[in-house]
Amino acid sequence: MSARIILVGPPGVGKGTQAALLESRLGAKGLSSGVIFRTEIEAETDLGQLAKSYIDRGELVPNGVTIQMMLKRLRTEEVRRRGFVLDGFPRTVRQAEALTDELKVEEIHLDGVVSLEVADDVVVGRLAGRIGCTKCGEIYHSVNKRPKREGFCDVCNSVLVVREDDKPETIRQRLTVFRDTTRPVIDYYESLGCLLKVPADGDSEGVYRMIVEGLGID
């Protein structure tokens, strides 16, 4: 069975963590707009340079390039076959409408849109302790999910780093952008009748169970 899921939620709520669990257990391809942008930045492409100028300030990358970049990936044979877990896209109503149009044309049915929900102080704590692997993308936390060897990835043994946009002032700006621009995306999917709200303050396994049971894809 190939799942087709969208994860929406504030910075640090655990979208990437849940996308990785869904990808490894259901086989659907994880597509994170943030990860794709960071890969472009690392490779010093034109898109990466453009994205960096927004990401470093905690602002959204413009809709046009973001929509084009994500739809291109959704059209690949692998994603058609495996299904997808979208993490961080769409996060404006314009992006959501473009995605709805694309899915309609391609006759692709969504299993659901999951809104992960926690209080702001929880996400600030999660982001403040996050460390990640730039090579394989594995996500850790200095308290909640410690690597076996401090500073190194359990999966590929690379050095773990703190993300550039996890500075306190940038986190505040990302939360403001979420409230002003991405909350309406949640309302948009609620009005379409495909939204599943999941409290995300428990541990990762508990959140995962609520997602798959809530979507009926267990």
Tell the smallest beta-carbon distance from residue 16 to Mg ion (Å): 3
**Does 15 qualify as catalytic in the annotation?**
yes
Tell the smallest beta-carbon distance from residue 105 to ligand AP5 (Å): 20
- Name the residue whose CB lies closest to Mg ion: 16
Burial (Cβ within 10 Å: 0-12, 13-18, ≥19) of residue 101: exposed
How far is CA 211 from its chain centroid?
Answer: 15
Asked if 204 is part of the footprint of ligand AP5 (rule: CB under 6 A), the reply reads: yes
Cα 208 from Cα 200, distance rounded (Å): 9
CB 104 within 8 A of CB 36: no
How many residues bind ligand AP5 (CB under 6 A)? The answer is: 39
Q: Closest CB to ligand AP5 among 106 and 203? A: 203
Which phi-psi region, left, alpha or beta, contains residue 65 (left: φ > 0; alpha: ψ -120 to 50)?
A: alpha
Nearest residue to 178 (alpha-carbon basis) of 7, 11, 5: 11
Q: Closest CB to ligand AP5 among 81 and 179? A: 179
Binding piece for ligand AP5, criterion CB under 6 A, among 72-80, 90-98, 99-107, 152-160: 90-98
End-to-end CA distance of the chain: 11
Nearest residue to 61 (alpha-carbon basis) of 39, 92, 86: 92
Residues 47-66 that bind ligand AP5 (CB under 6 A): 54-55, 58-61, 66
**Does 82 qualify as catalytic in the annotation?**
no
Interacting residues toward ligand AP5 by CB under 6 A: 9, 11-17, 32-34, 37, 54-55, 58-61, 66, 88-91, 95, 126-127, 129-130, 139-141, 144-145, 165, 174, 200, 203-204, 207
Catalytic residue set = 15, 91, 130, 163, 174
